[in-house]
Structure 1
């Protein structure tokens, strides 16, 4: 997403012979952005803004982020209603725009989003620029994100919406601009020419097939994965009405440029329209014979249509995605698919996919397969289904990791586990976050984090290349740092998880894959990890706890908890306990197993994180609900011993 004219800056292209050391986020120093839009509401008018429906748009002097004026939106009757600005004649296809706007509720609180509506041939599509961000009436909050328009459109508007309520809101000081594109570096080795043991691919959206993005993609990669364009919500938004408006341009680009395609994904518990799980009586499906039969019928119809759409142009399919939940005794995710149909939805999906695409390799795909409990449950499931004759050809390892986790040894154990099954393995969604916890955030990626990231890419690719017969493909989950899902998940902040920076220039991570001799020598295993600009618990007592709310919305919140073992001996298991003072209730927790009785909470380790060295840390996160107030717990105990609270 993005667009606008480019300036030739060939002199800024880095020569391939330059040594690579710890680098800043972007290759070119002090780029000069070009502003194409401003709305400051200082002239007493609405400056071209309008509502998306029947809400009222008016100039206001009640509050302002800068100066004396802002835009007030009132009379909203739906969360998607809000201030909207026509950018059709401003944004050009293929240019990456940075859009910033300040938002404030008139009263109360909510989460705000910055989005785009575009129409082609009268059909509307929606792109999210900035995800849910907590907004209150007490202060202005900035929403900043990047957008590239990737297709021809006859309608294009940027707008602000909310997540939960229809309260009045103000916006102020919108700006939109772009940094002139740098040419793609042609004097550096292509990743696909260096890594010859298996194809190397990238996940793409429409933004990755235009202008310099398309040039970078075809220079370095053998294959592509449409990141969202083949999912259920994109291909069958309403029953038996199929559309391939998102996928067709990506498939045409891949075919024209000789790129192999991984199809992703036929069955997933996310991004599946609600109608799929609605029974003939209009009610949510339950585990009845009638509902199961209808669900499997819909699954078969969807799979036959989508898997057969592009014929032999798609040689690999992620048939089912993320079906393992290691916290369940049997390891199976309690999705709507499973609750209604049990394992028969997986059996059906693979059977029909084989019939619809007999040429294709069929994969089961999941994340955190380096975690022993999850890995073992996935192994057991695949072993069982293979024994039943279910046509599973391979296992996909997503490998969404960070600069400190997991170890190479843990990743090697992941690969080795599946070798006896005699199936293919692929790395399907790899990225390496520069963050090690949800409480961290950097305005620009620190040089030491980028260097550590380069070591991780170096070591992981070296491991993958030791398995040329087992690892048959490695796909990065994105092309460059300007378009990554990690900018909004698990919290909103700028991440830099890929090989190329936001201006499409090679990072140290690229050299970690293409030529490790060009990065600095890796520190010894005993050297400390790069430090982060975050506060650490005080070094007193036998344990210390940091509790941080990382996101909040009406009635709900997300929190991270980290504790440090300040004792002199390692822990082999742990239980952290506290009392909620505001009656909060935990609804979902990861990185541990929890129990709650009234206000009392106890979180214990899971199989893979029970060991905490002396001086070491462990962490977990959770989603919770609250009413009235959401105070942080005042005290914690670790295995019955009181902790210091940071």
Structure 2
């Protein structure tokens, strides 16, 4: 997957007792006050220690200011990486999670600004991006803010601002670095690895998760670790035949010292692969020629022999290839450069070489959304074909990046059962449960009801995995705690809370959903475990739609929450605006374009041509006056994707919203 964000936590809390655990909105909003360790406001007429990274000019300015009358102006740049830099060695302490913020605007024109950290140990330099490309212009100030944890001892440490492309002048102002003191981990609650014994439970980590309080939490609760980014191609072979293990070696050393297993992730992926890998001997992008294919496969073999060989038996499980399926293609294959140049031979080569280098390791193919039937079936067909050819695919990895509304337990069970005839191991490799159900949502703090729904999802999914413990041989969470999750910036920037421990490293209701669901209680009388939004094992309606309560009036909100070439995601909310209760419902509409729904959750689907009918599930079939039910879906389209113009509920027309 992608790089993880970082943030620490917080003021003193009382550890949760071994009793029912309740989450309240007040608790969720009780955030500590940060401690500021550095401020550059440029109000004293100086550059306050900031300097250029090359020969550019860095000087105090009164032309514009974010606050007060002064700022720092950077001019005379001849390269995009040039910009203001400040020494923070001795300011940032190892193992402490800091929030770094800077306000930026251009002098003229537009560009994308970035905020990063440079660190050096001896003569080895490393560059950590804190905030990625952010659009800035001359019309106003834009804040760059991100989280950073120093995980190793260094000889040099500087923060800096650069741009993505241009060399124009820009200003910075009101730079701050702050942190909140971390809490000690709770030691009077069960360890996850002691409570779940059917399979090992792991966490994806960076170096920040192996030191101080994060390291304590990791060591206490998890059986295994996955280096989230440190083993990918850009981290291990940034230039051809120049291998570096500076990021990964400390993680593997921590695992060995603490007796933890390691999942290797990943040897081949279409992302985070340096451009040189796909550049031919002629200096041009590779195409499907015999010469380019031979060169690309030789680079792949060399990479695997070096990286996998470097760790040998220290890593017993590898995601050999990652995210190769595109269910929208007739043959099911993602049209990556790997595939465009080599066809399936890059996958065959990767597994063959990995087996030669690691004869005793378990070799996996890993992908996301494998609970969507179309994708699941394409992956099944590929694995079946490869194994029939003798390609040593030992297992299938299900990433399980899911949310509080999708997928259902039934869909996930179907995912597991689909691969059982192949006789392969199955592992959950990157699990997290977003509190969001659409890209349009954003919460300043996690709402109590979402945390409760999340707890039930973890409860139901882990119960399912344990029922299939003969098939599921490992479950890994994509992160240690909510202070460090890739979902803070994907698919949009907002604070998510997808893991078992919060930003203060304290156990959440989600933790109890895994460890002891009997300790989950409701944050309010209106929500309880008996009426929880846990997803049923069957999507079939528990009651047939009827007018026993009268359909009454109704309103429908239909939204497309995400769209991409040939596909889209949507959600629908139906509200009973009448005076009578609806007992069992069927919502119908007609598509005007060539749209097909491929996957639906929180309801049961029937589609015939453009006509769509969605009926209730067992837990959302009764709509009292004023009550609503929501469901979501994934679909495909060609040409155009217009929203339906009319809806009926149990045969009565509804008001579109």
Counterparts of 1:25 and 1:160, CA distance in 2? 37
- Counterpart check, 1:524 vs 2:531: yes
| 1:243 equivalent in structure 2 | 244
* DSSP-derived class of the 1:59 partner: strand
Contact persistence 1:111–1:162 (CA under 8 A): yes
* DSSP-derived class of the 1:465 partner: helix
Q: CA deviation at 1:618?
A: 5.5
Shifted more, 40-49 versus 395-404: the winner is 40-49
1:221-370 correspondence runs (5 A): 221-370=222-371
* DSSP-derived class of the 1:328 partner: coil
* DSSP-derived class of the 2:15 partner: coil
Counterparts of 1:261 and 1:330, CA distance in 2? 33
Greater gyration radius: 2
Q: CA deviation at 1:163?
A: 3.0
Q: Could you say what the CA RMSD is over the residues aligned between the two structures, in angstroms? A: 3.3
* DSSP-derived class of the 2:128 partner: strand
Give structure 1 stretches of 5+ with no counterpart: 529-538, 551-558, 577-602, 623-634
Counterparts of 2:213 and 2:421, CA distance in 1? 43
Kindly tell me: are residues 16 and 114 of structure 1, through their superposed partners in 2, closer, same or farther at Cα, counting changes over 3 Å?
same
- TM-score, with structure 2 as normaliser: 0.83
| 1:144 equivalent in structure 2 | 145
Kindly tell me: are residues 186 and 575 of structure 1, through their superposed partners in 2, closer, same or farther at Cα, counting changes over 3 Å?
farther
Kindly tell me: are residues 2 and 463 of structure 1, through their superposed partners in 2, closer, same or farther at Cα, counting changes over 3 Å?
closer
Counterparts of 2:197 and 2:246, CA distance in 1? 34
Counterparts of 1:324 and 1:24, CA distance in 2? 41
Q: CA deviation at 1:513?
A: 0.7
Kindly tell me: are residues 360 and 79 of structure 1, through their superposed partners in 2, closer, same or farther at Cα, counting changes over 3 Å?
same
Contact persistence 1:131–1:492 (CA under 8 A): no
Counterparts of 1:144 and 1:237, CA distance in 2? 27
Shifted more, 610-619 versus 399-408: the winner is 610-619
Kindly tell me: are residues 288 and 452 of structure 1, through their superposed partners in 2, closer, same or farther at Cα, counting changes over 3 Å?
same
Kindly tell me: are residues 542 and 93 of structure 1, through their superposed partners in 2, closer, same or farther at Cα, counting changes over 3 Å?
closer
| 2:196 equivalent in structure 1 | 195
Contact persistence 1:97–1:178 (CA under 8 A): yes
Counterparts of 1:361 and 1:526, CA distance in 2? 37
* DSSP-derived class of the 1:638 partner: coil
Shifted more, 610-619 versus 349-358: the winner is 610-619
* DSSP-derived class of the 1:100 partner: strand
Q: CA deviation at 1:489?
A: 1.2
| 1:209 equivalent in structure 2 | 210
Q: Deviations over 1:441-495 (max 9, x none)?
A: 1222122111111111111111111111100000000101111111111111111
Kindly tell me: are residues 223 and 27 of structure 1, through their superposed partners in 2, closer, same or farther at Cα, counting changes over 3 Å?
farther
Kindly tell me: are residues 39 and 207 of structure 1, through their superposed partners in 2, closer, same or farther at Cα, counting changes over 3 Å?
same
* DSSP-derived class of the 2:531 partner: coil
Q: Deviations over 1:119-145 (max 9, x none)?
A: 122121111222333333323222222
1:568-583 correspondence runs (5 A): 570-571=587-588, 574=591
1:375-390 correspondence runs (5 A): 375-390=376-391
Counterparts of 1:163 and 1:259, CA distance in 2? 40
| 2:91 equivalent in structure 1 | 90
* DSSP-derived class of the 1:287 partner: coil
Contact persistence 1:265–1:321 (CA under 8 A): yes
Q: CA deviation at 1:527?
A: 9.9
Q: Deviations over 1:161-208 (max 9, x none)?
A: 333433332221111111111111111100000000000000011101
Contact persistence 1:2–1:97 (CA under 8 A): no
Counterparts of 1:305 and 1:3, CA distance in 2? 30
Q: CA deviation at 1:498?
A: 0.7
Counterparts of 1:573 and 1:316, CA distance in 2? 48
Contact persistence 1:95–1:149 (CA under 8 A): yes
Counterparts of 2:5 and 2:431, CA distance in 1? 24
Which of 573, 598, 618 pairs up with 1:607? Answer: 598
| 2:541 equivalent in structure 1 | none
Contact persistence 1:636–1:645 (CA under 8 A): no
* DSSP-derived class of the 2:598 partner: coil
Contact persistence 1:543–1:638 (CA under 8 A): no
Kindly tell me: are residues 560 and 291 of structure 1, through their superposed partners in 2, closer, same or farther at Cα, counting changes over 3 Å?
closer
Counterparts of 1:75 and 1:605, CA distance in 2? 55
| 1:398 equivalent in structure 2 | 399
Which of 628, 631, 643 pairs up with 1:638? Answer: 643
Counterparts of 2:85 and 2:394, CA distance in 1? 48
1:37-48 correspondence runs (5 A): 37-48=38-49
* DSSP-derived class of the 1:482 partner: coil
Counterparts of 1:411 and 1:3, CA distance in 2? 30
Q: CA deviation at 1:392?
A: 0.4
Counterparts of 1:500 and 1:549, CA distance in 2? 32
1:530-545 correspondence runs (5 A): none
Kindly tell me: are residues 607 and 57 of structure 1, through their superposed partners in 2, closer, same or farther at Cα, counting changes over 3 Å?
same
Q: CA deviation at 1:608?
A: 2.4
Kindly tell me: are residues 73 and 575 of structure 1, through their superposed partners in 2, closer, same or farther at Cα, counting changes over 3 Å?
farther
Q: CA deviation at 1:95?
A: 0.7
* DSSP-derived class of the 2:91 partner: coil
Kindly tell me: are residues 574 and 364 of structure 1, through their superposed partners in 2, closer, same or farther at Cα, counting changes over 3 Å?
farther
Q: CA deviation at 1:158?
A: 1.1
Contact persistence 2:111–2:163 (CA under 8 A): yes
Q: CA deviation at 1:3?
A: 11
Q: CA deviation at 1:320?
A: 0.2
* DSSP-derived class of the 2:599 partner: coil
| 1:118 equivalent in structure 2 | 119
Q: Deviations over 1:360-396 (max 9, x none)?
A: 0000000000111100000000000000000000000
Counterparts of 1:105 and 1:74, CA distance in 2? 10
Contact persistence 1:2–1:148 (CA under 8 A): no
- TM-score, with structure 1 as normaliser: 0.84
1:426-445 correspondence runs (5 A): 426-445=427-446
Kindly tell me: are residues 438 and 155 of structure 1, through their superposed partners in 2, closer, same or farther at Cα, counting changes over 3 Å?
same
Kindly tell me: are residues 562 and 107 of structure 1, through their superposed partners in 2, closer, same or farther at Cα, counting changes over 3 Å?
farther
Contact persistence 1:370–1:406 (CA under 8 A): yes
* DSSP-derived class of the 1:94 partner: coil
Counterparts of 1:548 and 1:349, CA distance in 2? 33
Counterparts of 1:348 and 1:191, CA distance in 2? 38
| 2:604 equivalent in structure 1 | none
* DSSP-derived class of the 2:377 partner: helix
Give structure 2 stretches of 5+ with no counterpart: 522-527, 536-552, 576-584, 601-606, 616-628, 648-653
Contact persistence 2:264–2:315 (CA under 8 A): yes
Q: Deviations over 1:561-613 (max 9, x none)?
A: 8575879964577456xxxxxxxxxxxxxxxxxxxxxxxxxx83452257674
